[in-house]
């Protein structure tokens, strides 16, 4: 079994960004493209081989990624299965850029939109934000988002047995919480966010 650990990346200040398509178009773009394309390729390869629920081999973490990245990356198998067709389409759309790195430019709106959709899917599947230097959004860190129509028991978005550090975020949306049901955003000990 692979023991999880945390890489605290440089930088990390920022504000939440509501539109995942609004990407940084500066010097971090090539690193962002490479990181997202490698994650897509890894997820699809592991899905095809039946190993998608195993921890991913440690990725090369670009210095442009800011915040706290929890490793190894572990895909949520249910969310992965629900997005596999989208991941395949995104990987196919990005293959041209992977073969021609010079075409990765901030002026290519199709590329930026495709990377925005890739990021949204990857963040959902891995339960972590991936933020790059120069972006005005929360830094990389744990993300827990759950949507329910009806809650009859207990739902806990994030629970730390010993420590969750970095810019943490938990969101739970429930249309109806039945009598006796309970929704908890975070539970400690220890969850540490950055000031």
pLDDT in tens, 56-70: 888 889 999 988 888
Amino acid 35: pLDDT: 96
Distance (Å, rounded) from C-alpha 104 to C-alpha 34?
Answer: 10
**Cα separation values, 75 from 51, 110, 152, Å:** 10, 26, 26
Out of 132, 156, 172, a domain closes at 132
Confidence at residue 8, expressed as pLDDT on a 0 to 100 scale: 44
Extract the residue ranges of the chain whose pLDDT is less than 70: 1-25, 140-148, 155-174, 184-195
- What is the predicted pLDDT for the residue at 72? 87
Domain range holding 67?
5-132
Q: How far apart are the first and last CA of the chain?
A: 33
Q: How far apart are CA 14 and CA 12, in angstroms?
A: 6
Residues 171 and 148 in one domain: yes
Closest CA to 91 of 51, 49, 36, 137: 36
The confidence score (pLDDT) of residue 191 equals 54
In this structure, are 152 and 184 located in the same domain? yes
Residues 111 and 155 reside in one and the same domain: no
Residues contacting residue 58 through CB under 8 Å, at least 6 positions apart: 71, 72
- Please check whether residues 54 and 82 belong to one and the same domain: yes
> How many domains are there within the chain?
2
* Of 85, 106, 132, the domain-final residue: 132
Contacting residues for 39 by C-beta, under 8 A, at least 6 apart = 59, 73, 118, 122, 126
Q: Which domain-ending residue is among 132, 161, 179?
A: 132
Same domain, 126 and 176: no
CB 190 within 8 A of CB 162: yes
Q: Are residues 15 and 102 in the same domain?
A: yes
Task: Note whether 101 and 180 are same-domain residues.
Answer: no
Both tokens of 147, joined, read 């949507």
67 and 15 share a domain? yes
> Same domain, yes or no, for 122 and 145?
no
Same domain, 127 and 146: no
On whether both 20 and 70 belong to a single domain, the answer is yes
Which residue bears the tokens 């975070």? 186
DSSP code of residue 94: H
Using CA atoms, how far residue 145 sits from 106, 125, 174, in Å, is 29, 10, 11
Residues 10, 104 within the same domain = yes
pTM: 0.67
């Amino acid at each position: 079994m692979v023991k999880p650990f945390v890489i605290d990346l440089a930088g990390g200040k920022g504000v939440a960004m509501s539109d995942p398509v609004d990407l940084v178009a500066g010097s971090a773009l090539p690193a962002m493209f490479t990181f997202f394309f490698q994650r897509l390729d890894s997820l699809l390869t592991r899905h095809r081989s039946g190993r998608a629920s195993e921890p991913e081999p440690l990725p090369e973490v670009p210095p442009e990624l800011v915040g706290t990245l929890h490793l190894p990356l572990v895909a949520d198998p249910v969310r992965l299965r629900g997005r596999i067709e989208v991941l395949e389409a995104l990987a196919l759309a990005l293959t041209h850029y992977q073969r021609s790195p010079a075409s990765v430019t901030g002026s290519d709106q199709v590329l930026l939109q495709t990377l925005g959709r890739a990021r949204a899917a990857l963040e959902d599947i891995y339960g972590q934000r991936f933020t790059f230097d120069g972006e005005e959004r929360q830094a990389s860190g744990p993300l827990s988002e759950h949507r329910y129509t009806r809650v009859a028991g207990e739902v806990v978005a994030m629970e730390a047995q010993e420590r969750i550090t970095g810019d943490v975020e938990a969101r739970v949306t429930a249309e109806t919480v039945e009598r006796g049901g309970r929704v908890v955003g975070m539970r400690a000990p220890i969850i540490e966010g950055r000031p």
